[in-house]
Amino acid sequence: MRATFPGPARDVVTTGRMSPRESGRVARPTWTRRAGSLALAAAAVLGVARCTCADPQAEADRRRREQQSARAERTRAGLARESRTLTPEVIRGVELGMTVESLTKLRPRARSTRADRRPAKRGTDDHDWLQEDLSSAARALYAFDEEEGRLVQVQVLSLVPSREAIAPHLTAMNEQYGSPTGAWDCPRTAELPPTRRFTWRRAFAAVQDVILIYQGRVSITFYLAPAQEIERSLRRARCVPISGDRVGQMPVADELPEGALPARRSPPSRSGDAGS
């Protein structure tokens, strides 16, 4: 009796005789092959998605660092540009942001104060200081940030002959810098004597003129720093703004902390002297 075999399945495509290589192999249905391709494609898409999921945060961090770097560079450039116009003639050429090497090349008489830390007073021990005795017998102090080694503060301290010299000094300051943006009285504290202060603020830098009267002697400190540092200085000294009718009522100190006055007397305030 002759054996009979069923014909090919209806969902399998046949193209005639099978080759020896294909012998014994069962043909896959078309939908199975398509499903496999879709699975591979989906896996590839998911893999790309997983790779890109971490990228947005990394990209955001990179943009944030670039923006911070750009802001810091704008601030450095602004401080250098403005401080060049605010520095008094007696130390002309000094600008905020200078390195120690640049300043000592410009001001070769500036010397480190590490052996005598008294100039680094009032909570400024996080600075490295250079000191220069000026030809006018005034004294300049240069404060450098310890981490970056950049100039962040300039002070010029001098004595004027008497209280009568204050008005001409302020007139000279107004002619050079314009009207003050602030006038302040700062009371006596545990660390600071009472002072009168005037400020001239720019976009990045600011000038503070600190007037101290003690036993008939008058000390004037010209103080150049970033505007935010001048604001912090006023807060530390607990300064309060004064009205116009109190400008002539100058505070007077009855005692001083050590090092509050320059050691030598300068000639009368004039153009090119400290703070003029």
- Residue pLDDT, tens place only, 241-264: 998 777 778 899 988 766 555 544
Burial tier of 231 (Cβ tally within 10 Å: 0-12, 13-18, 19+): middle
The answer to whether 97 and 76 have CB atoms below 8 angstroms apart is yes
Which tens digits make up the pLDDT trace of 146-185? 888 999 999 999 988 889 999 999 999 999 999 999 999 9
Burial tier of 72 (Cβ tally within 10 Å: 0-12, 13-18, 19+): exposed
Give the C-alpha separation, 93 to 90, whole Å: 9
The domain locations on the chain are 67-246
Give the H or E element holding residue 115. Answer: none
Res. 231: pLDDT tops 60: yes
Average the pLDDT over 66-79 and give the result: 85
**Residues contacting residue 160 through CB under 8 Å, at least 6 positions apart:** 166, 169, 218, 220, 266, 268, 269
Give the C-alpha separation, 172 to 86, whole Å: 13
Q: Which of 5-19, 134-148, 224-238 has the lowest mean pLDDT?
A: 5-19
Its pTM surpasses 0.75: no
